[in-house]
Amino acid sequence: MERVLTLLSFGPEGWGDNIAEGVLVTVSLALATLPLGLLVGFFIALGKRSNDRFLRLAANIYTTLFRGLPELLTLFLVFYGAQIGLQRLVHLFDPSANIEVNAFVAGMIALGVVFSSYASEVFLAAFRAIPQGQYEGSFAVGLSGLQTMRLIILPQLVRLALPGLSNLWLILLKDTALVSVIGLADILRQSGIAARVTKEAFLFFGIACLIYLVLAMLSSIVLHAIENWTRRSGASR
Amino acid sequence: MRTEQTLAAERPPVVRDRWTLQRTIGVVLLSIWAALALAVLVFMLDAWDPAIFQRYLPRYLSGLWVTVKLVVVSVILGALLSIPIAYGRTSRNGFVAALAYAYVYFFRGTPLLAQTFLVYYGLGSFRPELQAVGLWTFFREAWYCAVFAFTLNTAAYQAEILRGAIESVRRGQWEAAAALGLSKMQTIRKIIVPQAMIVALRPYGNEIILMIKGSAIVAIITVYDLMGETRRAYSQTFDFQTYIWAAMIYLAIVEVLRNLIDWIERRITRHLKR
């Protein structure tokens, strides 16, 4: 027991500080991916709702592609693919240049792309739940298309999409574990190093699992609070 | 003659397909997709080498077979395991219900990769104990560890699907079956399951798709599934087309499955449509 506590302490012979750094990396990666994924997902959903069939097709290709590929493969495609692509591009100007893609950015793009393709479906379902009369009413009082979206549709959309998006956030949090494979020092990689050095694999991977659980619980609390906040205006109905 | 003229006059004006901003964006985006597809095609043709193809085709096929085997075995075992867990979730015994809830919460709240590591590397910490009960030969193999971890994981998800589907069948169905004198087993088999299946089909299908996509991570613990073979091929050739091949195969599997599920759903809900 004492040995376990020493191993988990924040001192020089403990791994607590390393794992805490890993938690920071995991959380910041997930938080950095979220706005990217939400924004892209929203625009993909708009594309899928479009009257124009070319735009719909383009948006649907995106979802089909990134919902069908394994997340790990998407990560490798982005990580190695961007490296090779950029390398070729730069070699046109400077043949001696060497490019390395930042693992954090690659992880952010790959996870963001996956997140947005799922988020677009959530937004689409939320859009469908808003009655046509809301648009008609808004045009009738003389709001422009952009104003309708900002003042009438978006506030309702947030409320309708939130449960689905909460789910996606929890999935995103778990998917960040994949970036440990391309060398980003997240929770799983740090505990893996600790496990290899100390030969206490079960302890450290168990701790990693527990940290993910705690993160999920904290997220649930925050998401619940946000959900209640969005319901304020609808409560009286 | 006269009537014909009036008819022609009353015909509504032809709606012209107008060129809108949305169409411009759509065409631009589609062109980007087309350019990307073309770039991939050119890249593949440029890198095409029959020797490499012949060398790696059998390996990819064997990797695909490993992936399919892993998913089928763990989904079936997980389905079996999910029955007692779903039963526990709905149990009136507080202890059993809490235990089942904790199981489901743990396996749904942590990454599959971390669970796989916990089984593959973590259980190595208990080597003497496992050797004593004769389970070490099982947990020494990466393949069995993967099957074990995937089974536990999918059982948690499937238990929730099963519970939701059973609870979606209304109480009256149970009561009516009891009134007709059907036994509990008969009620479940003939009344509840057929109705629950309609609700459960899509989530089950999604779970299988998620398992296929999730199974790629076993490549990290040295199981040579489709992803594992791809990584090996890439490390030997440094040829990026290895990943593109894998992407095409995964996409094809997932798309076929998705359409199959749609088709089954249409068939089993025929009686609900008018």
What is the complex's ipTM, to 2 decimals? 0.89
In this model, does residue B12 exceed pLDDT 80? Answer: no
| Interior angle at CA B103, CA B72 and CA B113, nearest 5 | 55
| Window A:10-39, CB contacts with B under 8 Å | none
Q: Do A68 and B254 touch (CB under 8 A)?
A: yes
Cβ atoms of B210 and A47 within 8 Å: the answer is no
Tell me the CA end-to-end span of chain B in Å, nearest whole number. 44
- Residue B176 in domain: yes
| Window A:131-170, CB contacts with B under 8 Å | 170
Residue B157 confidence (pLDDT): 95
Q: Do B121 and A65 touch (CB under 8 A)?
A: no
Average pLDDT, chain B: 89
In this model, does residue B105 exceed pLDDT 50? Answer: yes
Cβ atoms of B57 and B241 within 8 Å: the answer is no
Residues B248-267 pLDDT 10s: 999 999 999 999 999 999 98
Q: Do B111 and A177 touch (CB under 8 A)?
A: yes
Chain B touched by A68 (CB under 8 Å): yes
- Residue B91 in domain: yes
- Residue B245 in domain: yes
Token pair listed for B231: 């990584």
- The percent of residues above 90 in pLDDT, for chain A, comes to 67
Residues A140-172 pLDDT 10s: 999 998 999 999 999 999 999 999 999 999 999
DSSP string, B10-69: HSPPPPP----HHHHHHHHHHHHHHHHHHHHHHHHHHT--HHHHHHHHHHHHHHHHHHHH
Angle of the A187-198 helix axis to the A16-49 helix axis, nearest 10: 150
Distance CA(A59)–CA(A38), nearest Å, equals: 15
Residues A91-116 pLDDT 10s: 888 877 777 888 999 999 999 999 99
Using 50, 70 and 90 to split pLDDT, how confident is the model at A234?
Answer: low
- The minimum CA-CA distance between A210 and chain B, rounded to whole Å, is 8
What is the mean pLDDT of the segment spanning A38-56? 93
Which chain B residue shows the shortest CA-CA distance from A169? B109
Q: Do A213 and B118 touch (CB under 8 A)?
A: no
Distance CA(B227)–CA(B233), nearest Å, equals: 10
Distance CA(A75)–CA(B220), nearest Å, equals: 14
Which of A194-203, B132-141, B152-161 is the least confident region? B132-141
DSSP string, B253-268: HHHHHHHHHHHHHHHH
In this model, does residue B14 exceed pLDDT 80? Answer: no
**CATH 1.10.3720.10 fits domain A2-234:** yes
Distance CA(B245)–CA(A101), nearest Å, equals: 22
- Residue B41 in domain: no
- DSSP conformational letter for B45: H
Distances in whole angstroms, Cα of residue A72 to Cα of each of A7, A66, A91, A114, B62: 31, 11, 28, 10, 20
- Residue B165 in domain: yes
Distance CA(A228)–CA(A219), nearest Å, equals: 14
- Residue B3 in domain: no
Torsion of CA B127, B137, B63, A195, to 10 degrees: 0
In this model, does residue A236 exceed pLDDT 60? Answer: no
- Residue B7 in domain: no
Which chain A residue shows the shortest CA-CA distance from B105? A213
- The minimum CA-CA distance between A166 and chain B, rounded to whole Å, is 13
- Residue B67 in domain: yes
Q: Per the structure, how many domains does chain B have?
A: 1
What is the mean pLDDT of the segment spanning B36-40? 90
Q: Do B125 and A69 touch (CB under 8 A)?
A: no
Domain span including residue B185: 51-272
| Interior angle at CA A29, CA A23 and CA A34, nearest 5 | 125
Residue B231 confidence (pLDDT): 92
Three-state DSSP at A98 gives: coil
Q: Do B106 and A209 touch (CB under 8 A)?
A: yes
- The minimum CA-CA distance between B153 and chain A, rounded to whole Å, is 13
Residues A72-91 pLDDT 10s: 999 999 998 888 888 888 88
Of B109, B231, B250, the CB nearest to A216: B109
In this model, does residue B269 exceed pLDDT 90? Answer: no
What is the mean pLDDT of the segment spanning B239-252? 91
- The minimum CA-CA distance between A62 and chain B, rounded to whole Å, is 9
